[in-house]
């Protein structure tokens, strides 16, 4: 399996991005996205077959 690990600051400089704005954490980003898209569900999207065969809404890892 290959991984693509690079320094994000180096990459942004290489592609000419100098002003990245204010930083935010994952929790805040998820909250803002959820406010914009209230029906969005976060979760693990590779569930085991037992969960796939079950009741999606009841058994999905919310």
Q: Answer yes or no: is 7 within a domain.
A: no
d(CA 30, CA 24): 10
Matching residue, tokens 């898209």: 37
Contact 61, 44 (CB under 8 A): yes
Question: Domain range holding 43?
Answer: 24-62
Q: Answer yes or no: is 4 within a domain.
A: no
Number of domains in the chain: 1
Query: Which pLDDT tens digits describe the chain residue by residue (62 residues)?
Result: 666 788 988 998 999 988 878 888 899 999 999 999 999 888 776 767 777 777 666 655 55
Contact 52, 58 (CB under 8 A): no
d(CA 31, CA 6): 27
Supply the pLDDT for residue 28. Answer: 92
Q: Answer yes or no: is 14 within a domain.
A: no
Alpha carbon 13 to chain centroid, angstroms: 23
């Amino acid at each position: 399996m290959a991984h693509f690990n690079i320094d994000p600051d180096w990459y942004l400089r290489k592609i000419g991005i100098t002003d990245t704005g204010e930083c935010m954490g994952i929790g805040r980003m998820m909250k803002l996205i959820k406010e914009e898209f209230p029906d969005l569900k976060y979760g693990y999207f590779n569930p085991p077959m037992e969960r796939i065969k079950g009741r999606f809404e009841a058994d999905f890892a919310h």
